[in-house]
Chains A and B, each alone.
Chain A
Amino acid sequence: MQSYARIPVALAAIAVASSGPAQAQQPAASALVKLGIVSFLTGPAASPFGIPGRNGAEIVIEALNAGKAPAPFNQVGLGGSKIEAKYVDEAGTVANVVTEFRNLVQRDQVDAVVGYVSSGSCLAVAPVAEELKALTVFYDCGTPRIFEEKPRSYVFRVSPHATMDNVAAARYLVAKKKNLTSFSGINQNYAWGQDSWRDFVGAMKVLAPKVEADKVLFPKLFVGEYGAEVSTLLTSKAQALHTSFYDGDLEAFVYQEQARGLDKRMTMIMTTGEAAIWRLRDKMPEGTIIGGRGANGPLARDTEIKKWFEKIYTDRYNLPPTYPAYQMAQSLLGLKIAYEKAAKDGKPNADAIAAAFKGIEFEGPAGHVKMALGDGHQGITETAYGTYRFNKQKQMPEIVDIIRYPAECVNPPPGVEADKWIADGMKGAKCN
């Protein structure tokens, strides 16, 4: 599951770049920049997250190497050096993930690692990255603990953490369901599901203190059979259901609850639903409140760079990019900005890139990124939620009634831990 990608293509492109007048403004590529790209290529998380993330990396790296990305990303590769990517599977135990990370850094001598879907992987890799002084950019994992547990020097995350998803979900629900009296939740029984529910319940207590949480379910990850959970929810009087389910769990739950009409009794709030709409299509319940871990996919603003990314991805893979692809693209573009900022005097080392990375701001396909938290290591962006409907005429999924939330409205201020910020009433939130 590992391969050096496109070396011959890269070499050929170097030759073209050095001879063609169209590329004359690009500095000569002194050396390749080696990147380790880690994502789930096998296992249950591969299809919804790992593969779109990997595809996002492939298509963006190709465009960067060809110098075909829009400004300000139009310099070839990173600082004029072509990118050589090595793709590694994230599947396996956490110990295996750490071993593969060490292999990338120590054996393959990569210049940076960009990757990781699982919060467990990120929590395990972060201290090793610090120990090895290896520049590492997490692209999808959501736990806020990465930069809250201790300061990091070499670890960055351009994508916002999961607190934003659940605070925004609560804001949207309260805005749209004025007569809400109670809600329930079904989330996977591990850090992701538990943290998501904790943040959502905390935000609901602040925004609608009289609305009660009813059934609280934490089925085992990838359990697949939700008969008892659906029955429990059918006996609940809640009018809304929060879930951070993803991939096969989300799809299995939707198939099973639809067969029993649960979505006719309560509105679903799916914080990762955007990643599933192109697969579920008319099976996704109408009226479901959809989040996409940021303003990604149909929730993204229609900017030039978003249109560019959507086009190159869709042309290659025949499906629009979902949020993991956006997150990977944002992560690579953030790294490019930092690398080129540090590369004024030749090829920069990890310390120089890390120093340049801190606190940067840039426009990516999912909007404006500001590395505002974790002492400049953790990005924040605006986010958006909307309501799902399937357009039968166009035979296309749509997200309508979109509400956008500024980054400072749904993220804690710098230096404040996410759960404490919510528990203290989300003080300092700037929602216009």
Chain B
Amino acid sequence: MLLTLSAILTDGLVYAAYLFIVAIGLTLIFGVMKILNVTHGSFYAFGAYGAATAVGIYANSNLPAALGFLFMVAFAMAIGLVMGAVLERGILRLVYGRDEVVVVLVTYAVFLILEDVIVLIWGPGSYAAYQPMVAAGNTELGDLVLSNYDLILVALAAALAGLAYWALKYTRYGRLLTTVIFDRETAAAFGINVTLVYTATFIIGAMLGALGGAVMAPKISVTLGIGVEVIVLAFAVVAIGGMGSIEGALIGALVVGICRAAAVHLVPQLELFVIYGVMALVLVVRPYGLFVRAQPRKI
């Protein structure tokens, strides 16, 4: 029983780390820009494909394996940076102020286009990028064997959460961001360059989406359609935590991660249902999620 409990805890943490890394960019963009960004799935997919490309390039060099992970992440995030800038400046700024449904549809259209762009760039075949995970090795914990790469993911998620907390609370840009999240018009009235904040936020969100794809690439087969599943999962996590709340995304990821791991170990028949069951339960009790912000009342 102790073995099962420790397995549920570690598996839950690993899955939560994955969920948080893929959801943080989505919730950040929603919090600031009030856009449910379906293109986030494309950022994830491009990040994964970019990482696979980077791993392929790096594998042919004689550089130490440990640096391969950093190269892969940097390469993917650079792709996210370029994509974020191009999409925000090239498309999204043209639809600011339109109905939220229109903006969602625009991001969905871009997502579909980018799926075909992936085929144009990388073709229909799948890619492997397992080398960083193999290089990381594993750790034995009694009967349980843990992948060190998974432990790195947990550490990365914790670092991202800490960094986001610090940046929002203790940096000038973070305070500006918090102001825009609270109320865009008031922020603009106080002289904050909201347009610049939007652009910066979207780029950071895109880089985080690409980061999610990059760190998952060694664990999966990088293939067409990987962004679709991520969008649904990330949306569930963000809805549980509260749209736009980073601490909500963290708690949402932990709740879903632990519940899913418990279901797989104890009642595997519920695995398919558990994520959306938790989401439905939370939304019945708190329709705006666990960590929804107080909304200013405008007169």
Residues of A at the B interface (CB closer than 8 Å) are 41-44, 46-48, 50-51, 189, 215-220, 222-225, 227-229, 231-232, 234-235, 247-252, 255-256, 258-262, 279, 283
Contacts and interface: CB of A to CB of B under 8 A. Distances in A.
A259 B126 contact: no
B7 interface: yes
B278 to A, nearest CB: 15
A232 B268 contact: yes
A42 B226 contact: no
A259 B144 contact: no
Nearest to B118: A42
Contacts of B18: 225
A425 B268 CA distance: 28
Q: Tell which of A231, A232, A248, A283 has the most Cβ of chain B within 10 Å.
A: A231
Given A42-B115, A261-B145, A229 B220 contact: no
B265 A231 contact: yes
A259 B225 CA distance: 24
Interface string B161-189: 00000000000000000000000000000
B125 A225 contact: no
Contacts of A251: 126, 128, 220-221
B53 interface: no
A260 B224 contact: no
Contacts of A262: 145
A396 to B, nearest CB: 18
A255 B133 contact: yes
Contacts of B271: 189, 217-220
B245 interface: no
Given A51-B125, A234-B145, A259-B138, A252 B3 contact: no
Given A218-B272, A225-B15, A248-B126, A235 B224 contact: no
B290 interface: no
Interface stretch (B68-76, B89-97, B146-154, B195-203): B146-154
Contacts of B12: 228
A231 B141 CA distance: 11
Interface in B97-156: 115-116, 119, 124-126, 128, 130, 133-134, 136, 138, 143-147, 149-150
Contacts of A258: 134
A132 B134 CA distance: 53
Contact of B128 (A215, A224, A279): A279
B225 A247 contact: no
B79 to A, nearest CB: 20
Contacts of A223: 229
A259 B134 contact: yes
B48 to A, nearest CB: 10
Nearest to B129: A255
A256 B128 contact: no
Contacts of A261: 138, 145
B52 interface: no
B193 interface: no
A231 B144 contact: yes
B27 interface: no
Contacts of A228: 7-8, 11-12, 15, 260-261, 264-265
A318 B240 CA distance: 48
Contacts of B3: 235
17 contacts: A42-B124, A44-B224, A218-B272, A219-B272, A227-B14, A227-B147, A227-B150, A232-B7, A232-B264, A248-B126, A252-B220, A255-B130, A255-B221, A256-B133, A259-B136, A259-B138, A283-B130
A260 B268 contact: no
Contacts of A189: 271-272
B223 interface: yes
B213 to A, nearest CB: 11
A46 B224 contact: yes
- In this complex, the interface size class of chain B, counting residues with CB under 8 Å from chain A, is 35 or more
Contacts of A235: 3-4, 7, 143-144, 265
Contact of A224 (B116, B130, B147, B220): B220
Interface of B: 3-4, 7-8, 10-12, 14-15, 18, 115-116, 119, 124-126, 128, 130, 133-134, 136, 138, 143-147, 149-150, 216, 218-221, 223-226, 229, 260-261, 264-265, 268-269, 271-272
A248 B223 contact: yes
A255 B223 CA distance: 14
A231 B221 contact: no
Contacts of A255: 128, 130, 133, 218-221
Listed from nearest, the 7 A-B pairs whose CB atoms lie closest are: A251-B221, A248-B221, A228-B264, A228-B11, A259-B147, A231-B7, A47-B126
A223 B18 CA distance: 12
Q: Tell which of B138, B143, B147, B216 has the most Cβ of chain A within 10 Å.
A: B147
Contacts of A43: 224-225
Given A42-B224, A228-B260, A218 B268 contact: yes
A46 B221 CA distance: 13
Contacts of A229: 264
Contact of A248 (B134, B150, B220): B220
Given A42-B119, A42-B225, A51-B125, 13 more contacts: A42-B224, A43-B225, A218-B268, A220-B271, A225-B220, A228-B261, A231-B7, A231-B11, A235-B7, A248-B226, A251-B126, A260-B138, A262-B145
A50 B126 CA distance: 12
Contact of B143 (A41, A224, A234, A252): A234
A260 B269 CA distance: 24
Contact of B124 (A41, A215, A225, A234): A41
Contacts of A48: 126
A218 B226 contact: no
B235 to A, nearest CB: 15
A346 B219 CA distance: 56
A256 B219 contact: yes
B219 A47 contact: no
B42 to A, nearest CB: 14
B7 A224 contact: no
A234 B220 CA distance: 20
Nearest to B229: A222
A47 B224 CA distance: 8
A223 B219 CA distance: 12
A216 B229 contact: no
Contacts of B223: 44, 46-47, 247-248
A87 to B, nearest CB: 12
A44 B226 contact: yes
A252 B221 contact: yes
B81 to A, nearest CB: 25
